[in-house]
Amino acid sequence: MNKLFGTNGIRGIANDTLDPIFSLNIAMAYGTLKRGKIVIGRDTRISGEMIENSFISGLLSCGCEVIDVGIASTPAIQYYVKDNSSVSGGVIITASHNPPEYNGIKIIAEDGTEASRDEEEKIEESYFKENFKKVNWRDTGRYLKTDVSSQYIDSVKRFLGKNLGKIRESKFRIALDAASGSAFLTTPRFLESLNIGYVGLNCQPDGTFPGRNPEPTEENLKILQRIIESGDFDLGIAHDGDADRSVFFDEKGRFVEGDIILSIVARDILRERKGEKVVTTIATSSSLRDVVEEEDGTLIETPVGSVHVARTMMKEGAIFGGEGNGGLIFAEHQYCRDGLAALGKIMEIISKEDRSLCELADEVPRYFTIKEKIMVEKKEEAMERVKRRLSELKEPFNDRDGVKVSYDDKSWLLIRASGTEPMIRIYAEAKDEEKAKKLLNRGKSILKRE
């Protein structure tokens, strides 16, 4: 059977590979399977309304009741689904960090988590068989509208609980880049509600993302970095297009790698909750393992993708999880990546410890991690060649997700195909920068060799 869903839902070029007819048919496939009450929302992309409206039509034609929340952050929509027992599931029209010409469809389970692969396969089967069950005209679904942002902001405050007062008292000064995405509805309001001063960049919604690419990499955040360097700030934060991720700069304007943020948060949580489990992916730096083991916790690794992390957390009873791309998951709040909760937790740690983010980051064990993207149209064939080459070299590897080669000195090489774009990512990590570079070059050589 053909595959529509990638690592994070369905992605495509708006009005090309992802047009209203495609969206309508996916909606009918989903609505046929699900029925009941479905929540739908979108990020700020200019194609969002077009895709969302066609999806709504498909759901209504199958008799689903639709609750349209309009533009909202992904974690806000997921929280609303989780918090309303009468809801059968959710749909988010977003392409997250992809460029503005892309859009996507993300399916949410009734507990607020990303849909399982089993559910996605059922939708794919229904779609390709065109096995749609339209209702008669009397039974077409009801259409309602509501807001989810206020409820979500309040939920993040409850998650921070007793430490909210300490955050207020710390009188943070924040530099914020909302990416012109759906974070404009939540992060500024959250900060204002705590009387926290901030300077906002790209805090107006614009689906063309004129200020920067919505992927929050250090390279895309140079303006924010300069603002921090030239001002008096405690912290810099930037979101992706749908606000389920956050990346941070310290008070000196230095970009703090996502793996370091994971380690800072894991250390804080494990010092209060000894022996707990933490979940991350095979692409995360060994610095997290060092920290978790140092604090007597247990680290569990999964394939890349937040759905794998979240569902493993639920299965294993883990308290915290995440990926090195800025996606943090807090079991005590909800089992999904949450950019605003991540900001709140970092401010909580800084205020509790009475130390700067720079000081906290400097305590985390350091590894040199180098990543490179290589555009490859036939990525599955390329990955098979990589496996054959390593087998010829008699080099042991883990192929649970891509191909990972681990070495005795904790260095490693990972080659894996992107689940959302025609590219292959190569990751190399070592204690020594030169070795990391050599590993990266070796990975590129293995990939390109016919």
Catalytically active residues are 96
Distance CA 11, CA 425 (A): 18
Closest CA to 221 of 206, 204, 205, 239: 239
Q: Helix (H) and strand (E) counts for the chain?
A: 15, 19
**Going by DSSP bridges, is the β-strand pair 143-145/89-93 parallel, antiparallel, or unpaired?**
unpaired
Length of the chain: 450
Q: Using a CB cutoff of 8 Å and minimum separation of 24, what contacts does 10-13 make?
A: 10/104, 10/105, 10/106, 11/95, 11/98, 11/102, 11/103, 11/104, 11/420, 11/421, 12/102, 12/103, 12/104, 13/101, 13/102
Amino acid at residue number 24: L
CA 229, 230, 231 angle in degrees (round to 5)?
A: 95
Work out the end-to-end distance of the chain between its first and last CA atoms, rounded to an integer number of angstroms: 28
- SS3 (DSSP) at 329: strand
| Main-chain dihedrals φ then ψ at residue 217, nearest 5 degrees | -95, 160
Distance CA 6, CA 305 (A): 10
- SS3 (DSSP) at 335: coil
Does residue 144 contact residue 66 with C-beta atoms inside 8 Å? yes
Distance CA 205, CA 198 (A): 18
| Main-chain dihedrals φ then ψ at residue 10, nearest 5 degrees | -100, 135
Closest CA to 425 of 384, 376, 383, 373: 373
The residue whose two tokens read 């689940």 is: 419
Does residue 51 contact residue 18 with C-beta atoms inside 8 Å? yes
Q: Where are the beta strands (DSSP E) in 124-240?
A: 143-145, 173-177, 197-201, 235-239
- SS3 (DSSP) at 30: helix
Q: Where are the alpha helices (DSSP H) in 130-249?
A: 149-160, 164-169, 187-193, 222-230
